[in-house]
Amino acid sequence: MNKKIAIITYARFPSEMAYGNHLIQIANSFVENGFNVSIYYPKTYNTKTIYERPEKYYEVKKGIEFKEINNFDITSYSIYNFLPNILKKIIYSLNTFIWSNKLKKYFNGESYVWSTNPNILLTVKKFFDITIYEKHGVARFIQKFSISRLKKDKNVYLIAVTKQSLNDLSIAINEPLYLPNGVDRELFKPAVLKNEMIKIGYIGFLETYGIDKGVLSSVKEIAEINNKLTTNTLIVGGPQKKLDEITDYIEKINQKENFTIKNFVPHTKVPELISNLNIGIVPYPNEEHMSLYASPLKIFEFASCGVPVLLSNIKSHLELVELDLGLEFFQHDDFDDFRNKLESLILDHGLRTELSKKSLDNIDKLSWSSRTKEIITSVRSSNG
């Protein structure tokens, strides 16, 4: 069997959202395991599109070819924004099938295919020997039907990044693998020296599907701490309206010197920003997508840089306890608890050191390359 894989996405690409970087890490990990990779993605032209070639934007390694396939982008039309949500999802799913049906004439002899979109895989799996589906979110309606069909195919292999996804994928011909996301250990490393002033940070999108991720609430509690202790907090992300809310608040309370607010930065610049932090925060709310399906990608990047993480005790975060990383939890709906736990971390250098060491002692097993190797080994053992 040849070592060529098609990675297919219907998402906006390149993208400032974590999913785009995740896709590149998956691609790189297959290259590191001896595969040639082709990434197939739709041409999009809505207001959120980044007009830059993905190979330049992500500064990718050799062995990856990008194939942009023409697409009728329904999301670029203003009328789409006024449709009911259920109609949006149905139209979007139908477009997925139409677009993925175009791909067959572009395939170039790949024997493996990987995607997080079950509709795409249901359409194209007949062109490949091995199909790998990773479940990264809630599946309803048409996607749920597509997954039910994929589960019955002996050439389809299922990957779950959370325990809920594992449960969703159960009762399949091939037993699904539970594999939380990984981290690039070459990129994400501890800083040699830390700043004397305690630096707190959040780097990532500030909302998911319109649901606030709790960063502004965290900033308000950090501002309270700054009335007693001097810290500096770095917030990097978007959308801009969320950054504006945070900026307006810190200007109103006269703490602009305690906060650094940035819009998105290229992914290759993120490791340096993270490694210079003393504490990372991931204050996600107990919302269905984040609690049951959220990727722990950002948590692993903090851990790989030896940065202790203060995070909410939602279900998908608590699942990570068994990985033995340097994590401190607060009650997700109690920001007084967030403030108290954060203040303890700020004041207790020994605790921060202990959590940092714990992460660095255990993070190597979570590299993207070793994760992908486990997937390939599972596929090959199932095939005799």
Collect all residues with Cβ–Cβ distance below 8 Å to 68 and sequence separation of at least 6: 41, 42, 43
Peptide bond into 176 cis (omega under 30): no
> So what's the pLDDT on residue 48?
66
> So what's the pLDDT on residue 319?
94
Enter the tokens of residue 173: 């011909």
| Fold of the 198-365 domain | Rossmann fold (3.40.50)
> So what's the pLDDT on residue 333?
92
3-class DSSP assignment, residue 376? helix
**pLDDT per residue of the chain (384 residues) written in tens, 0 to 9:** 569 999 999 988 887 677 888 899 999 999 999 999 999 999 887 666 778 889 888 888 789 999 999 998 887 788 888 889 888 888 888 899 999 999 999 999 999 999 999 999 999 999 999 999 999 877 778 999 999 999 999 999 999 999 999 999 999 999 999 999 999 988 899 987 766 789 999 998 898 878 999 999 999 999 999 999 999 999 999 889 999 999 999 999 999 999 999 988 877 889 999 999 999 999 999 998 899 988 778 999 999 999 999 999 999 999 999 999 999 999 999 999 999 999 999 999 999 999 999 999 999 989 999 999 999 999 998 876
Please, are residues 11 and 19 in contact by the beta-carbon 8 Å criterion?
Answer: yes
CATH class of the domain defined by 4-182+367-382: alpha beta
List the chain domain ranges.
Answer: 4-182+367-382, 198-365
Burial of 145 (0-12, 13-18, 19+ CB in 10 A): middle
3-class DSSP assignment, residue 271? helix
Beta strands 36-42 and 4-8: pairing type? parallel
> So what's the pLDDT on residue 21?
83
DSSP class of residue 290? I
Same fold, 4-182+367-382 and 198-365: yes
For 371, list phi and psi in degrees, rounded to 5. -65, -45
Please, are residues 217 and 335 in contact by the beta-carbon 8 Å criterion?
Answer: yes
> So what's the pLDDT on residue 139?
77
